[in-house]
Amino acid sequence: MTLSAKQKNRQFSILSKSKPLSVQENMQELRSSAHSRRSEPQFDMGDVIYFCRKGVESIIDDEVTKSFSAQELESWNLLTRSIRRFPHRGLRLTLLWGLGVLIRYGILLPLRVILAVTGIFLFVILSTSVGFLPNSKLRFFLGEKVHLMGYRFCVKSLTAFITYHNSENRPKNGSICVANHTTPLDVIILANDRCYSLVGQVHRGLLGLIQRAMVKSSPHIWFERAEVKDRHLVAKRLCDHAADKTKQPILIFPEGTCVNNTSVMMFKKGSFEIGCTIFPVAIKYDFRFGDAYWNSSKFGLVHHLLRIMSSWALVCSVWYLPPMNREEGEDAVQFAKRVKAALAAQAGLADLTWDGGLKRTKVKDAFKEEQQRLYSEILLKVHQTQKQEKCFEDETPEGD
């Protein structure tokens, strides 16, 4: 049975969200619904109801919290971590799940781990060897080939199926590539198609060994722990790298944290202050085959990688957006918002204005003060209006 156009439009109007009202419009609507005799924007005890309502709505429909939790599944995908959400399953599904466990943990996981270890071992050996070559052009050429080999080994070990769109917009040398961030594996997903220069903090252990091998054959940018807080030093090194057209594009995740691939959080303005061309890249994962989101507050990196390797597959789409430059009269914050909006629209993600740092910190006082400022402007506007009316009455002579 098909729905009529009128029914479809009615359903769409119910599901679609209306344009959010301002504080003053909400106040007037609340007062009119309460049959208040005056609708002018001055203090009223009923105004408290508006702020209480907004607080309850924020608790019930919290955009920030939903962005840092695993996506809800409409149907069970036979994975262990989703079995608790679908307790009503029959004997057939239970047998299929048991067979899936044997395949995923008994066959796929060991093969993937062996392939990943082999790829990392070869990458470290070859990248270190290439770093000893005296010829810079030959070292750069071979270093890029070694990096591609290492990244593609890792992609194969994840059984990743990646679809790249609009390859003509692939980032060029001497530029900055920005992308939404879901997992540390975003780097491998993007670098599987072309090499990038990575930016990050110097680590120790196995990760530090890989970083030292990478920088010997490719111009990556690593910072010491004390240098990361120096914004001017970071900006200078990024600017110097982007000014060299022979170097690979810099890959940056402006959100600064991993989000669950349903939305895009606020972009930090640092990478948009440099003044070079920005190549936006949108990444969208298909969570039906496995959850790619890394909840760092719940799982460690090794645990996260094992969860990915024990999934059925890693399926995602990558869109290369046209290059974007800062417009005249546009500051870094506005430029970052424009890039984020284009990226979110391409991947079908929600464009949120919240800072991803709220994942671990409390709401800044600036957000609270902004709501207080909006409400105080309503009261001040009334006070000024009343003052002007009084002055006008004093200056107007009385009639006969």
The predicted-structure confidence for 342-384, as pLDDT tens digits, reads as follows 999 999 998 888 777 666 666 667 766 776 777 677 666 654 5
What is the mean predicted confidence (pLDDT) over 133-159?
88
CB under 8 Å to 258, separation ≥6 — which residues?
181, 182, 183, 184, 293, 294, 295, 296
In the structure encoding, which two tokens stand for residue 119, read together? 């790829």
* Most confident option among 69-83, 278-292, 358-372: 278-292
What pLDDT, on the 0 to 100 scale, is given for residue 82?
A: 60
Mean pLDDT of 268-290: 88
Lowest mean pLDDT among 7-21, 103-117, 352-366: 7-21
Six token digits for residue 126: 């070859």
Considering only residues 400 and 141, tell me which one the structure prediction assigns the higher pLDDT.
141
Average pLDDT over residues 205-221: 81
Q: What is the pTM of this model?
A: 0.74
Structure-model confidence comparison of residues 18 and 105, the more confident one: 105
pLDDT of residue 18: 44
Q: Which residue has the higher pLDDT, 318 or 242?
A: 318
pLDDT band at 397 (very low <50, low <70, confident <90, very high): low
- In the chain, the percentage of residues whose pLDDT exceeds 90 is 26
Alpha-carbon span 228 to 400, nearest angstrom: 78
pLDDT at 2 over 50: no
Which residues does 334 contact at the CB level (< 8 Å), separation at least 6? none
Is the pLDDT at 322 greater than 60? The verdict is: yes
pLDDT for 314 equals 92
Mean pLDDT over the full length of the chain: 78
Q: Is the model more confident about 301 or about 394?
A: 301
pLDDT beyond 90 at 199: no
